[in-house]
Each structure stands twice: as structure tokens, then as C-alpha cells.
Amino acid sequence: MKEKRRDFLKTAASITAGLAMACSPESEAMAAEAAVTGSSQAGPGVDESPMPTLELGRFTLSRLMIGSNPIHGYSHFNRLYSKHMLEWSTPDHVCELMDRCWEFGINTWQFSHHERAMSDLKEHRKLGGKMQWMLLSHSQIEEDHSLIKEVAKLSPIGIVHHGGSAERKRRQGKVGQVRDFLKAVRDSGVMVGLSTHDPEFLEQAESEDWDVDFYMTSLYYLTRSNEEFEKILGTRPLGEIYLPEDPARMCRVIRQTRKTCLAYKVLAAGRLSNSPEQINNAFRFALENIKPNDGMIVGMYPRYSDQVAENSRQFKKIVEDLKA
């Protein structure tokens, strides 16, 4: 069954990409751009070059990891786009996507704690999947620490406190609740992670020597309070706000900590994915400005193209360029 699913995914990726290239008036421009950036509209087959890895505790992780926002309906745009993502993300498609990641050397999957995600993990395991995984907290597990031990029984790489939730608690003077959660994770026997969008929060955790093994670090501070946005912009615009100066600020702090950081929102929740060149530039900036033992978590939504192949090839090419 696993081989059939894999063959289906490869065939679907080839057909989808072929139709897009044949029908689009921009196909020649896209082909030329792909030649410049080293990307491909479709990529059936296993790439021979190895995926760069990092060491985290006893685990070896691919430096490029897959996130779960697209496949679990968190578009960071609007409710309709989120539904569009969920429509495609059937359990079969999610398992096929994880198989495709494994083929290209992406061996780590990050997702949030909720019923659908845990169900997808169990289905992946039932079908023989071997993806490593790490869990980002949700309100339920943050409020009921007994659930941490239940998750730990499933052998995650680590459990991470959600960034937006941690930042809200910090603003409310409830940072002790965050540290209590992290202690409960430590007591469960798995590695401890803290996520944040705010470089100053990362600096605080480091200066106070929090008991954390690794960080998840957003390159964009989209969870600022309304007052903070008004102070910077003079108003609070509608929707999520991605300031172009933010990645440099976070990367500066990432480089100051010796602990492994897993950068996310590298593509600004899809806002920097309108062309292969734009994706390449975002990947390159991140890889040039994080540490060699840091990684990137990237959500993928391969409904219209083989994003696993595209992202893997761009990622590996940039890493090789930086070594030269």
C-alpha cells in the first residue's frame, strides 16, 4: 500500500506540474526563472544529494523540516483559504506528503497538539512511516499537564510551548505558567522547547538561563500587541502584519544563543512564495543568518506543485553554495 501511495503522489505531482506548465502563459518565464534559481516545477524521483542535518540531543534532524499549518488548516490569511487547505489535506494526502518528505531526506515533522494532528501521526505510523516529530502546545495541553505524559509515551523529539500563547502570558505577568509547563515537559523525559516570535523574549529566556533544550524562532513578530503596532506604524492595520525588518532582528538573537534554533515563518506564511526566486531569497537569507546547527521549519501545501522537491532542492543548493 505504501508503494502505491508513493507512486500515486509522484504521478499526481508530474501531471499537475505538466498541466500547469502547458496551460500557463507564464510557463516560459517560470522555466527560465527555475533555471536561474535551481528549482523545478515538478520533481518526481529521489534527489541523490543528501539533506543537511543537525544534531539535537540524541536525534539527527534534517535541517529542513516540514511544518503543519497548511495541512491542518492554519493559513494565516483567512477562513476560506484555511478551508481550502483542509479540503485537500485528507489523511491519505498527509501520509503521502510525509512519504514524499522522507524520500527527499526531510525526516522531521512539527505539528500542534490537537486531535486531527495526533490522528495523522498515528495513521502515518500504522502505514510504516518513520518521520520524527515534535509537538507544539495547544491550550488544552497547556492547561492539563497530565496530557504531557501521554504525548511523551509516543516518543516525540520534544514538546514546545506555543509562541503566541507564551507571549500573551508574558504580557499578562504570567510567565510562571510558561515555566511550569516547561518543567512538566522536562519531568516527562522528553526535550524541552520554547517557541517565540519576540526576540526580546528569547533574550530573556537566555539571560535567565531557562531550562530549555532548543527554541522555535519565528522570523516575523506577528504577535505584537496592538499598542506595539500603533507605536511603530501609527495605527493597527487589519490582519496579520509582517514587517520586513523583523527577520534581521530575530536572526541577530538566534546567533547569540548556543542552543539550536528552528526558524519558522521563513516565507512569512506564504507571502514570500510567489516565485522560485522569492522563495530562494527567503531561504538564503535565513541560512546565511542562522547558525550551522540551526534548522528551518517550512509548511508545504503540494496541491498544485511538488513543493517537497522544489523546497528540498533549493535548500540543499543554498547550503552547498554557502560552503563554497
Residue type, 121: L
Mean pLDDT of 287-292: 98
pLDDT at 48: 67
Q: Per DSSP, what are the bridge partners of residue 297?
A: 65
Say which range, 19-28, 55-64, 128-137, 226-235, has the weakest mean pLDDT. 19-28
Residue 142 reports pLDDT greater than 60:
yes
pLDDT at 98: 97
Instruction: Please give the grid coordinates belonging to residue 259.
Output: 542552543
pLDDT over 90 for what percent of the chain?
Answer: 83
Q: Comparing C-alpha atoms, which of 154, 205, 199, 200 is closest to residue 182?
A: 205
pLDDT band of residue 3 (cuts 50, 70, 90) is low
Pairing between β-strand 53-56 and β-strand 59-62 as defined by DSSP bridges: antiparallel
What letter does residue 324 receive in the DSSP assignment? Answer: -
pLDDT at 22: 38
Q: Comparing C-alpha atoms, which of 199, 194, 202, 197 is closest to residue 218?
A: 197
What letter does residue 137 receive in the DSSP assignment? Answer: -
pLDDT at 74: 87
pLDDT at 24: 37
Residue 26 reports pLDDT greater than 90:
no
The domain containing residue 37 runs over which residues? 2-323
pLDDT at 301: 96
Mean pLDDT of 239-262: 97
Per the CB < 8 A criterion, the answer to whether 286 and 292 are in contact is no
Count CB neighbours of 314 within 10 A: 22
CA pair distance 2, 25, nearest whole angstrom: 36
Residue 15 reports pLDDT greater than 90:
no
Residue 198 reports pLDDT greater than 60:
yes
**Span 264-283, pLDDT tens digits:** 999 999 999 999 999 999 99
Per the prediction, the chain carries an average pLDDT of 88
Instruction: State the CATH number of the domain containing residue 281.
Output: 3.20.20.100
CA pair distance 256, 253, nearest whole angstrom: 5
| pTM, two decimal places | 0.85
Say which range, 32-46, 141-155, 158-172, 288-302, has the weakest mean pLDDT. 32-46
pLDDT at 47: 52
pLDDT over 70 for what percent of the chain?
Answer: 85
Residue 226 reports pLDDT greater than 90:
yes
E-strand stretches of the chain: 53-56, 59-62, 64-66, 108-112, 132-136, 158-161, 191-196, 214-218, 260-264, 295-298
**Span 31-66, pLDDT tens digits:** 333 333 333 333 344 656 899 999 999 999 999 999
- Counting the structural domains of the chain, the total is 1
pLDDT at 69: 92
